[in-house]
Amino acid sequence: MTRPVIEGHDVAFFDLDGVIYLGPAAVEGAPEGVATLRERGVRTIFVTNNAARPAQTVVDQLTRLGFPSTLDDVITSAQAAAGYLRRELEPGAKILVAGTQNLVDEITGAGFTAVTGAKDDPVAVIQGYDPEMTWPRLDEAGYAVQGGARWFATNTDSTRPTDRGLVPGAGAAVDAVGATVKVRPTIIGKPYAPLMEEAVRRTGATNPIFVGDRLDTDIAGAVGVGMESFLVFTGAHGKQDLVEAVEAQRPTSIGLDVRSLLEPRREARVEGRRATCREVVVEADDRGVASVQGDLGGPEEQLDAVWALAQLTWAGIVTDPAPVLEKLDRIR
C-alpha cells in the first residue's frame, strides 16, 4: 500500500488563508488534520505572507478556530522581512514603511527608524499588505524609490481569499508603486526564498513539506528551495490551475484538504498516451484531446483523474484537457 503523504516529513509548513481558514471560519477538516499530525509527532508551523497582523493575533485566531498554538508555531513575512533587513542595512537606518502598524513594529523592533515620507530621506522602503492603504502613502513610497531608496516588499500576492471571495492582495499595491519606477523590489515572502529559508532555519527542519492552496506562491516557493509541496483544493487555485501549471509551480502531491496528508500518496503511472491513478484512467487521442475512464462519483476519484490528467498535460501529451475537466464537478 502507498505510504501516507506525511510519512518521512518532520515538519509540515502551512499557508493560512485558503488552507487553514477562510475569513472567520476554519477550513473543513483542517483542525482535525492538524491535530492528528501533531499526535503523530509532526511539527506543524503556520507560515504566512500576510504582514498586516502581529504574530500573536494570528496565534489567537488559530487557537480560537481549533488550532491551539504559540508564537513558536507562527512565522510571518513581517518577521522575516525584519530579519532580512537587519542583515542588509545599517543599524538605525531610516525605512519608509508602507504597511500596517505591525510591520512598523517589526521594523522598529529590529533596530530601525520607521518614517512615513520621502522627505525623511529613508534609505529603504518596505511594503506590506494593509487593508487601509491610501494613495498618498503609495505616492510617498514611489517618491522614495525614485530618490534612490532600496525597495523591499513582504510579498506580492495578487489576491487574498476570503469567505466572500477574492480581494486584492499586497501585490496590487506593489504594482502601483512599480508603475512609477524602473526597478523591482526585493521580495521576502513566497514564492521567494527568504521566508521559506527563515522557516527552515527557525525550525531546524530536515525534511519538511509545504502545504498550500496557491501554485504561484506556496507551491512555487517550495519548489524554489527544493522542498516537497502539497496542494489542497480549499482556497485560491483549483483543477484547471493545476493542469495548466508551469514546471516551477507543480506540486509533488495533491489532496482535498489538510486531512489528505494522512492518506496514501496519490501517484499516476504514465504509459504511452495513458495515465492511471488508482482506478481512474486518463488518455489522449491522436489530437491530444483528453478522455477519462473510471468512477468519478466522489471528490477523491475526481482528484485521481485531475492528477493523471496533469501528468499527461505537463508532458505535452494532452493539449486539450477540457473534456475531462468538465466532468470533474466535485472539485473546484
Q: What is the largest CA-CA distance in the chain?
A: 66
Per DSSP, what are the bridge partners of residue 276?
A: 269, 281
- Which three cell numbers, joined as nine digits, stand for 317? 501529451
Choosing from 10, 17, 241, 295, the catalytic residue is: 17
Q: What does residue 97 show for φ and ψ, rounded to 5 degrees? A: -105, 115
For the packed helices 193-203 and 77-88, what is the interaxial angle rounded to 10 degrees?
A: 100
Q: Is 303 helix (H, G, I), strand (E, B) or coil?
A: helix
Contact 188, 159 (CB under 8 A): no
The residue annotated as part of the active site, out of 15, 130, 157, 216, is 15
Three-state DSSP class for 285? coil
* Residue 15 bears catalytic tag: yes
Residue 39, Cβ neighbours under 10 Å: how many? 8
Q: Taking Cα atoms as reference points, which of 260, 259, 230 lies closest to residue 242? A: 230
* Active site members: 15, 17
